Amino acid sequence: MASETTTSKEYIQHHLQNWTYGQHPDGSWGFAHTAMEAKEMGFWAIHVDTMLWSIVLGALFLWLFRKAAKTASADTPSGWQNFVEWIAEFIDTSVRGSFHGKDKLVAPLALTIFIWIFLMNLMDLVPVDWLPSLAGWVGSTVFGADPHHVYFKVVSTTDPNATFGMAFAVFYLILHYSIKNKGVGGFMGELTMMPFQAKNPVVQALFIPVNFILEFVSLISKPISLALRLFGNMYAGEMIFILIALMYSGGLAMGIFGGFLQLGWAIFHILIITLQAFIFMTLTIVYLDMAQSEH
């Protein structure tokens, strides 16, 4: 929480800064000790906390679902098996309702997207100071680092690098299936011959640049909207948790009031966490369906 030696602005900035590894201006590689150092590292800097938590939660998802599959029993199913089967049935119903092709990748992809994003979003319910404080203690105890310079964000989806990474992966699949099912000519025809058409070849030729601009904007907006929607909602939710946490430094009464606010926002935020994972999954299914369908 914010202390007497830390202003509210510094407290917020500290919680919104990623643990960054990259190249310093002098050419050496290492971790950034300040937010300014992190900015100076440029494009090739790595947000270690984002990578760490996304990989850990992805591995957790695989382990939990693999465990359910290995111990599955038709006679005496466990509670965890029933829960996993319920999720799989829910995903299967969503895919069947939105995807009209026969590709075997879409359903596993939808399941992976939904659970992985849900788990990353779920980290937003962990009190904002717990894990960063633990990371600061480990850094100061084990590595002798200044705990005030230890940055540790635990919600990967509040980092646009993570959300854009997932969105670009979906965008690659959109392009892949579009070209695979329609060919390069068919795909380029969709970008240049729609939506305006004319029987006169000369007029149609004049429509080509207009069609391309409209269709290209529509195409490129898909990954951008996927990434920014998820990032924006989770970043805003994290910011509210941080602002509520500031109330704990305002005395006992403000601390109690802040506790009730935190609980209320956490309960409401469960809906946002689930909804954002569902929206990302559903739009991915729809976009892949559009990529395999005629214009």
Angle at the Cα of 215 (from 211 to 216), degrees rounded to 5?
Answer: 115
Sequential DSSP letters for 218-258:
HHHHHHHHHHHHHHHHHHHHHHHHHHHHGGGGG-HHHHHHH
User: Is the four-CA dihedral 215, 218, 221, 222 of positive or negative sign?
Assistant: negative
Separation in Å, CA 279 to CA 118, 245, 263, 295: 11, 29, 25, 23
Could you check whether the bond before residue 195 is cis, i.e. omega within 30 degrees of 0?
Answer: yes
Q: Identify whether 233 is a catalytic site residue.
A: yes
Q: Using CA atoms in the order 105, 108, 218, 43, what is the torsion angle rounded to 10 degrees?
A: -100
Active-site residue, selected from the candidate residues 140, 181, 229, 249: 229
Q: Identify whether 225 is a catalytic site residue.
A: yes
Cα 167 to chain centroid, rounded: 8
Separation in Å, CA 177 to CA 33, 53, 119, 142, 283: 44, 30, 28, 49, 15
Q: Identify whether 221 is a catalytic site residue.
A: no
Positions marked active-site: 225, 229, 233
